[in-house]
Structure 1
Amino acid sequence: MAYVQRDQHGNITAVFDSPQQNAQESVSINSEELISFLRDSEDTEHVRVALSSSDMALVRVLEDLVNTLIDKNVILFTDLPMAAREKLSNREKIRGHLNSLDDLMGDDHGIL
């Protein structure tokens, strides 16, 4: 997600990775309007912000890809470098913890 600033005609004039006082509107990083703005922009900072905003989504895609390759026995988990195995394991533990917290909150809707 990226946050955009617009001019009086509704055209994107700036892109941010978090909401700003003058840029509260969020747009998908895949938005054709945003891609067009970035393609025509001469300010490399706007492009860097957009790339940074898409990094987390891409990380998840790559993580899912690695897990799929492992599940289909295309590669073994142990084939990965130690640093990659540690990062994947840590992310899996964190996601598991988040899921268990979500389950706790979702079990009894009457509490809240």
Structure 2
Amino acid sequence: MFIKRDESGQIEQVSREATDECQEFVPPGSPELQNFLSAGTGAENLALSKSDLAFVRVLEDVINVLMDKGVISFTDLPEPAQQKLMERQSLRKRRNSVGLMSDSDDGII
């Protein structure tokens, strides 16, 4: 990754490729770069986390539709993906079997 620093030496811009503004190379795993990339307001981070959770559910539903239609089979998925899907299905079944929450994920009890 290539970065541009501000007057105080802090990262202020990042690019995957060297540009006129971003000339300094920093390894992708550098703590300084990771801190810059994860920075944001609490509200932004919370909104992104909520969006990620909702999107995971969308992906799970898409995978199920593709399997139901025979486009892919469960065994076509990599082993780690199979395990994660089985874990999520198991957790959802347990949650729903208690009858505390609906499957709509809207948080209504």
**What's the offset of the Cα at 1:48?**
3.2
Task: Tell me, yes or no, if structure 1 residue 64 matches structure 2 residue 99.
Answer: no
The CA distance in 1 between the partners of 2:82 and 2:51, in whole Å, is: 23
Measured in 2, the distance between the counterparts of 1:62 and 1:82 equals 17
Q: TM-score, normalised by structure 1?
A: 0.49
1:102 positional shift: 0.4
Structure 2 unaligned spans of 5+: 1-38, 101-109
2:9 corresponds in structure 1 to none
Q: Out of 46, 51, 54, which is 2:48 matched to?
A: 51
Segments of 5+ residues of structure 1 without an aligned counterpart are 1-42, 104-112
Post-superposition CA distance 1:51-97 (Å, at most 9, x none): 11211111100000000000000001000000000000011011111
Point out 4+ residue stretches in structure 1 off by more than 6 angstroms.
none
Give the structure 1 partner of residue 73 of structure 2. 76
Q: Amino acid of the residue matched to residue 80 of structure 1?
A: L
* Greater per-residue helix proportion: 1
Structure index of larger Rg: 2
Length-normalised TM-score, structure 2: 0.51
Which of 1 and 2 has higher RCO (CA within 8 Å, sep 6+)? 1
Which letter does structure 1 place at the counterpart of 2:79? M
- Alpha-carbon distance in 2 for matches of 1:44, 1:101: 37
